[in-house]
Structure 1
Amino acid sequence: MVKEVQFRVKLQEETKANILEIKAAQFLSIPKSDISAIKVLRKSIDARNPKIYFNYKVAVYIKEPAPENSEYQFNYKDVSNKPEIHIVGFGPAGMYAALRCIELGYKPIVLERGKDVRARRRDLREINQFHNVNEDSNYCFGEGGAGTYSDGKLYTRSLKRGDVRRIFENLVYHGATEQILIDAHPHIGTNKLPKIIAKIRENIIKYGGEVHFESKVVDITIKQNKVQAVVLKDGREFSTKALILATGHSARDIFELLHKKNIALQAKSFAMGVRVEHPQQIIDSIQYHCKGNRHELLPAAAYSWVEQVKDRGVYSFCMCPGGFIVPAATSNGEVVVNGMSPSKRNNAFANSGIVVEINADKDLYKYEKFGPLKGLQYQKDLERLAFTAGGRSQTAPAQRVTDFINGKLSPELNPTSYQPGLKSSPLHSLLPKAIGGKLRKGFAQIGEKMHGYNTNEANIIGVESRTSSPVNIPRKENLEHPEIKGLFPCGEGGGYAGGIISAAMDGERCAEAAIENLKI
């Protein structure tokens, strides 16, 4: 017999021997000796009050053994000589589209503009140390996409779009720890994710797929409203009948290419703002109600909040406890910041994007001449402004939080994890009123709930602009573009995902849709 139960364990009880069996036996009113095994299904922390609890959901096996294998099996097969599906982009959407093609007996051919995960590191060093941006290999482009070297958080609310558990199990199959199947807010860590991504690529190639790095798509050949081929920067051309476009939210050249070819696009709402960095100890003290160091059993504290300021959402985004801020520009002449965390989340700083909703219909009236690319142009302008304010390098403009709220230039800045460095700048006046004004009011509101958040010890750093795509590539119910047959917009770049897991699920769905299309 198997019973699923939920109970709480006090922080002080967590290290007690056999505590889960004891709690489960008490909950079920059975002898502890009847329990043959316990499998943890979900674990979270309840730190809303000074008395902290761990919440558990477990499967209790009563007088029977727990199964040894996962219910998910990934039956990859040799597809060397099978029909081809072309995939542009090798982030989560592209990777999972390729894996799903192999499962279903089709050969994926992946075209990735950036480099493999190992070679990519040299280009990241160039950004951090020498402020040089390789426009095809950076924190956004390259094997694994933006998530590889920017955090590896596995949060999603897209529970109706696919089998979330299947995506997690596949990551475990490729080397992720089983802890991601349990944690309420699972996270792999930017130091561990590259090995998993390399293993996925190795499996794709092992079973007959192809992955081509430094293969930038510069044109799509279309005849009679059907995709015919993709053309690469080096002149190579791949004929195709099914093209999955999984290029990510920062592939601006792809949006511009489609717009130039009069392929239907739509402007969509997105969010922009800043990244806030605190000493991790401050966030720990707020979230865990402690003074000094947090309890050794507690991870670096995270936070999440949302406020409404004049009918616009102001909210935290991609919060990275124990993490780093990184330069996420994809072109020289712009400054973009993002956050990441190693698996242990043991850095001295906590950082989070704090962003304002930008309504494509109401807030971008000055950019109407750019049509569906108006949000993209708005992003560009703010990133160029940050570049200029930072001193025309990857040095980022920054301000202490309290000075930003009070509208004062900071005489000095706090230590930071952002390796290219910071320059004191009046972000309160540089940011457009639609963003800066709402951020200042949003900070004031959150300061009333998280006492100690608005402090001289925290910096705000600009700009956080790549939260999601400002462009939507439309598609029909069968996931095909409404005008171009054989074109399947996918993942974050198409406007259909918001993170690693939702992008992976959309990649699988697009692979299935492309295969069905080939059968017709």
Structure 2
Amino acid sequence: MHRTVDILVSPQEASSDELIKKVLEKKLSTKDFKWKLLKRSIDARGENPKFRLRCEITDEGQFQKQFQTQFEYQDVSRSEPVVVIGSGPAGLFASLRLIELGYKPIVLERGKDVKLRRKDLSKLHTQHIVNPDSNYCFGEGGAGTYSDGKLYTRSKKRGDLERIMGILVHHGAKEDILVDAHPHIGTNKLPKIVAKMRQSILDAGGEVHFNTKVTDFIIDNQSMKGVVTEAGDKIEGKAVILATGHSARDIFELLVKRDIFVEPKPFALGVRVEHPQRLIDDIQYSCGSDRGRYLPAAPYSIVHQVRDKGVYSFCMCPGGQIVPSATAPGEVVVNGMSTSTRSSRYANSGIVVSVEWKDIKGFHSAGPLAYLRFQQHLEKKACEWGGGDQTAPAQRLQDFVNNTLSDSLNDCSYIPGIQSAPLHESIPKFVRARLQDGFRAFGKKMKGYLTNEAQILAVESRTSSPVRIPRKDDTCEHPQISGLFPSGEGAGYAGGIVSAAMDGERVAEGIEKVLTS
């Protein structure tokens, strides 16, 4: 007998295999079976939230559903090299897939390894010192390493989602991510997983070089042959994967300088809002001020249409904190992260609106870099609004909606500090008006959301790449420069850890198509 069974259980029952088994026994009217959890999600409708579980039931020896969590990587030390620029999810997963396909990845990372990177993050928090090559965006693992580690995506058609999860489990992630509807790893767990992925590359004969910034390309007759580093080293390969992330502005500048075709790409921009987690718990779970020990910190996802343009939550971090994500001195950028336990007393989320070509007329002269220039402009302005360092400009939420300067601010998880600022006057009108309408609508959808117990910090601007690097659909190769393979968020083809990982694998497979054709 093999079958799947859906059950609805209390949070306490969901916390124990023994209690889940008892619920299944009652539903099936027998104790003679084995069971395996396939999917877990929270149903927060009504006054008493439940967990919805999908289980596989069998009375035979083996389950039909098997998750692959073990992978073997062959020795590629003497194989043809492929240069991989960037060690974020796209670069790491591309490298591991290249090894499986028989190629030697040479990974070049401008930043430091995860351990040394922490020291620069500490200086960013406490001394407001921005290291342009080692920060929340640059360094081993990319922007995803020090984040909430959310692993859900809407891009499931682009790759094998279960395979990505299995590779993460192989490198140390908990098996919970294989069954949770909204899995996450946490900023305290991701660094170790990323380091193990690096070790897999090294053990297979690949190379990983930190503090190695690419400053030029080696191009011969419209064919990419390799790269030149800041130290003057030339590194050649059979192909070059460009997986530098959405904040590698110098790479975008280099592409334009070398007359390599890129195009402007709309992105989203706004603020990061922070509420007390207890307030979000009460809104989502109807639990008063205490959700209890068995329910996780409540997340939310919300969207509202304002004049045919969406205002929506982005990268929501329950039980998290707001962090400084600038990549250069003189700019302020905010983002969110949380640990695996999501135990902070704060909940934060980006609330953003899309920026389109008609919105940035003053920047059209920058051509393919127009959105990037607009992004830079606002980040520099945010730095001015906050006082000139990494202090973030802030305003209580209801004050912002009511166009009122906040006389005082709430406690905040943002360690560099916050400064009251009239964001209702400073943020561009087309963004501000939509944000205000959006917050009013959110307050109606989630009673208690629109409150001065919450506040907004500016500016949330690194939601996605402001540039797209074109590529062919079948091989992912650049249409103008052969041997160049754009990948991940920075190229405009992903939005998060999982979609970037899947895209990295797709690009590696595209390289094999080209090199074996």
TM-score (norm 1): 0.97
Which residue of the partner structure matches residue 112 of structure 1?
A: 109
Which residue of the partner structure matches residue 21 of structure 1?
A: 21
Matched, 1:458 2:473: no
Give 1:242's aligned amino acid: A
Deviation of 1:71 after TM superposition, in Å, equals 3.8
Find the partner of 1:375 among 353, 365, 371: 371
Which residue of the partner structure matches residue 193 of structure 1?
A: 190
Q: Deviations over 1:441-487 (max 9, x none)?
A: 10000100111111111110000000000110000121100100000
Give 1:179's aligned amino acid: D
- Matched residue SS, 1:79: coil
Q: Deviations over 1:302-325 (max 9, x none)?
A: 100011111111000000011010
Give 1:449's aligned amino acid: K
- Matched residue SS, 2:3: strand
Matched, 1:42 2:39: yes
Which residue of the partner structure matches residue 303 of structure 1?
A: 300
Which residue of the partner structure matches residue 399 of structure 2?
A: 403
Residues of 1 paired with 2:117 and 2:370: CA distance? 31
Residues of 2 paired with 1:233 and 1:13: CA distance? 57
Moved over 6 A (4+): none
Residues of 1 paired with 2:16 and 2:226: CA distance? 62
Kept in 1: contact 2:80–2:237 (CA 8 A): no
Matched, 1:444 2:440: yes
Kept in 2: contact 1:132–1:332 (CA 8 A): yes
- Runs of 5+ unmatched residues, structure 2: none
Residues of 2 paired with 1:79 and 1:15: CA distance? 43
Residues of 1 paired with 2:44 and 2:183: CA distance? 17
Find the partner of 1:424 among 420, 426, 429: 420
Deviation of 1:512 after TM superposition, in Å, equals 1.1
Q: How many residues are aligned here?
A: 516
Matched, 1:355 2:355: no
Which residue of the partner structure matches residue 313 of structure 2?
A: 316
Residues of 2 paired with 1:308 and 1:116: CA distance? 42
Residues of 1 paired with 2:179 and 2:66: CA distance? 16
Residues of 1 paired with 2:498 and 2:186: CA distance? 14
Residues of 2 paired with 1:189 and 1:18: CA distance? 27
- Matched residue SS, 1:364: helix
Say if 1:386 and 1:82 are closer, same or farther in 2 by CA, change over 3 A: same
Which residue of the partner structure matches residue 274 of structure 2?
A: 277
Kept in 2: contact 1:92–1:504 (CA 8 A): yes
Which residue of the partner structure matches residue 156 of structure 1?
A: 153
Which residue of the partner structure matches residue 435 of structure 1?
A: 431
Residues of 1 paired with 2:19 and 2:63: CA distance? 18
Which residue of the partner structure matches residue 120 of structure 2?
A: 123
Say if 1:426 and 1:39 are closer, same or farther in 2 by CA, change over 3 A: same
Matched, 1:175 2:160: no
Q: Deviations over 1:336-361 (max 9, x none)?
A: 000000000001111000001112x3
Residues of 1 paired with 2:13 and 2:173: CA distance? 28
Which residue of the partner structure matches residue 78 of structure 2?
A: 81
Say if 1:207 and 1:14 are closer, same or farther in 2 by CA, change over 3 A: closer
Kept in 2: contact 1:300–1:345 (CA 8 A): yes
Residues of 2 paired with 1:296 and 1:19: CA distance? 16
Q: Deviations over 1:105-126 (max 9, x none)?
A: 1100000000000000110011
Kept in 2: contact 1:34–1:63 (CA 8 A): no
Alignment of 1:44-63 (within 5 A): 44-63=41-60
Residues of 2 paired with 1:91 and 1:64: CA distance? 40
Which residue of the partner structure matches residue 505 of structure 2?
A: 508
Deviation of 1:363 after TM superposition, in Å, equals 1.8
- Runs of 5+ unmatched residues, structure 1: none
Kept in 1: contact 2:67–2:162 (CA 8 A): no
Say if 1:25 and 1:269 are closer, same or farther in 2 by CA, change over 3 A: same
Which residue of the partner structure matches residue 10 of structure 2?
A: 10
- Matched residue SS, 1:392: coil
Q: Deviations over 1:378-418 (max 9, x none)?
A: 10011000000000000000000010000011000000010
Deviation of 1:18 after TM superposition, in Å, equals 3.7
Residues of 2 paired with 1:10 and 1:69: CA distance? 27
Kept in 2: contact 1:325–1:351 (CA 8 A): yes
Kept in 2: contact 1:400–1:413 (CA 8 A): yes
Which residue of the partner structure matches residue 31 of structure 2?
A: 33
Cα RMSD for the two superposed structures = 1.5
Kept in 2: contact 1:24–1:60 (CA 8 A): no
Give 2:30's aligned amino acid: K
- Matched residue SS, 2:124: helix
Matched, 1:476 2:472: yes
Matched, 1:237 2:234: yes
